[in-house]
Structure 1
Amino acid sequence: MTLRPVLVNIKAVDDSAVGRFWGEALGWAVSSREHGETAVKPAGFDWLDPVTVCVDVVAVPEPKTTTKNRVHLDLATTSAAHQAELVARLEALGATPAHVGQGDVPWTVLADPEGNEFCVLEPREIYRDTGPIARVVVDCANPRAMARFWGEAMDWPLHEVTDEHAVWRSAKGVGPYLEFLRTPGAKTVPDRVHLDLLRYPHDDQEAEVARLRALGATDLDLGQGDVPWRCLADPEGHEFCVLARS
């Protein structure tokens, strides 16, 4: 029994507008499966048999607070010229510079039209084959503890774990990396960006949820009501969902 990351879920007041921004940013198709939900994914993507991690933008009534998100995307570039061109294009689409205490760094920190922070990385060889999303980054207090939980929770191999970060990537060697990064400050508000996980066809959803609870996850009531997915939080309180296969 195991799970795999399949979606980065972003909350937005205007899911259509934020979805269009991310579609342009990533060069992916944008579609709406139902009111209040906009999917952003590469052409031909099958989320039941994923080869990357896509973006799902879901409408909520509350705007983002000034608190920095504890989950964000890092975008890959192939050259200094590509990085500069991408930053300029994203700003023309509505992105704004963001200041999260980064100081003098070679990457550029921006926020999407509703304030969700993300980074445009300088070119790095390790990310040349990831596609437009280089990595999904999650702030945490204890990367080694997160490595223990998430290493058991999902089927992605652990590439590296130190006191500063824990890093995974799909066993197929495709798509982005997932990094839990040691970051000062405790979680104070619900995550506006979170991971959605998918079980394999032969696995049982409730058995997977029970396994996660045994690893230290807790049930989460976000007012979701009677839905086919399960909302949980990891041992540091990061929200995530276990999706139904439908």
Structure 2
Amino acid sequence: MTLQLVQVNYKARDHEALGQFWADALGWGVSSEGPGVTNVEPIGFDWPDPTAVCVDVVAVPDPETVKYRAHLDLATTSEAHQAELVARLKELGATPADIGQGDVPWTVMADPEGNVFCVLEPRPLYQDTGPIAAVVVACADPRAMAGFWGEAVNWPVHELTDDFARLRAPEGVGPYLEFVRKPTAETVWTRVHLDVLPQPSETHAAEVDRLRTLGATDSDVGQGDAPWTVLADPEGNQFCVLRRT
């Protein structure tokens, strides 16, 4: 029994504009599964596939503007590529961001709606991930979070310390999922969250029950009678268990 990490979900005032920003930033395309939703995926992508964790942008009237625990790290292949990407992102509407990072080799930026992300300096580890190097989550206990999420999506742990954990799909493709210890991090991600999908051989109800046994709890974010289930991981971060259609 397992789930697939399929997308990072952003809440936005203007889902079309933010979706187009991320499509241009990643070199991907846009589509829409319905009103108020922009899907950002690699061109020609057969969703879902472990080679990419996609971006879903959903319109909400007034998304909160506090800092969130989850962000994207973008991969680069050279110093020249990093500089070119940063310049192109600024042209697309991104702005430099100061989160107290100091003098670091990566560049911290914010997208047009204020969501922080990082453009990494070239690192050999991320040369085969695609444009998204990692989905990064600030947390109080990386070991515990790696244990929960590793069991949830069946991703093996590649690195584990008290301060950092790194996981990746068992196929060895796509971005990493990383947990960084920041005890003062916000307690929830409501504007940026993860979406998971049961494998074809598994039922939605069975996977939701399994997540509860791993430590997930039910969460109400005003979703009403939705076809997906909203849960919270052991540190209180909401995520959605989608249904196959």
Specify if TM > 0.5.
yes
TM-score (norm 1): 0.96
Structure 2: tracts of 5 or more residues without a match: none
SS of the equivalent of 2:113 reads: coil
Q: Return the letter of the residue paired with 2:34.
A: E
> What is the CA–CA distance in structure 1 between the aligned matches of 2:5 and 2:18, rounded to whole Å?
21
SS of the equivalent of 2:33 reads: strand
> What is the CA–CA distance in structure 2 between the aligned matches of 1:158 and 1:64, rounded to whole Å?
32
Matched, 1:59 2:48: no
Matched, 1:120 2:119: yes
Other-structure match for 2:163: 164
SS of the equivalent of 2:32 reads: strand
Deviation at 1:161, TM superposition (A): 1.0
Checking the alignment, whether the CA contact within 8 Å between 2:50 and 2:173 is kept in structure 1 is: no
> What is the CA–CA distance in structure 2 between the aligned matches of 1:188 and 1:137, rounded to whole Å?
15
Matched, 1:93 2:92: yes
Checking the alignment, whether the CA contact within 8 Å between 2:146 and 2:167 is kept in structure 1 is: no
State the identity %: 69
Number of residues of Structure 1 aligned to a counterpart in Structure 2: 245
> What is the CA–CA distance in structure 1 between the aligned matches of 2:78 and 2:104, rounded to whole Å?
16
Other-structure match for 2:42: 42
Deviation at 1:63, TM superposition (A): 3.3
Deviation at 1:50, TM superposition (A): 4.2
Q: Return the letter of the residue paired with 2:154.
A: D
Other-structure match for 1:152: 151
Matched, 1:17 2:17: yes
Per-residue deviation, residues 178-211 of structure 1 (Å, max 9, x unmatched):
0011013142454311110111111011111011
Deviation at 1:46, TM superposition (A): 1.9
Checking the alignment, whether the CA contact within 8 Å between 1:110 and 1:118 is kept in structure 2 is: yes
Change (3 A) 1:182 1:220: same
> What is the CA–CA distance in structure 1 between the aligned matches of 2:146 and 2:125, rounded to whole Å?
21
SS of the equivalent of 1:56 reads: strand
Other-structure match for 1:220: 219
> What is the CA–CA distance in structure 2 between the aligned matches of 1:229 and 1:243, rounded to whole Å?
5
Checking the alignment, whether the CA contact within 8 Å between 1:64 and 1:192 is kept in structure 2 is: yes
Alignment of 1:184-203 (within 5 A): 184-188=183-187, 190-203=189-202
Structure 1: tracts of 5 or more residues without a match: none
TM-score (norm 2): 0.97
Change (3 A) 1:64 1:111: farther
Deviation at 1:81, TM superposition (A): 0.6
Q: Return the letter of the residue paired with 2:12.
A: A
What is the root-mean-square deviation of aligned Cα atoms in Å? 1.2
Change (3 A) 1:184 1:2: same
Other-structure match for 1:108: 107
Checking the alignment, whether the CA contact within 8 Å between 2:50 and 2:169 is kept in structure 1 is: no
Matched, 1:132 2:131: yes
> What is the CA–CA distance in structure 2 between the aligned matches of 1:77 and 1:48, rounded to whole Å?
24
Change (3 A) 1:49 1:56: same
SS of the equivalent of 1:103 reads: coil
> What is the CA–CA distance in structure 2 between the aligned matches of 1:80 and 1:45, rounded to whole Å?
28
Checking the alignment, whether the CA contact within 8 Å between 2:72 and 2:132 is kept in structure 1 is: yes
Deviation at 1:33, TM superposition (A): 2.0
Q: Which runs of 4+ in 1 moved over 6 A?
A: none
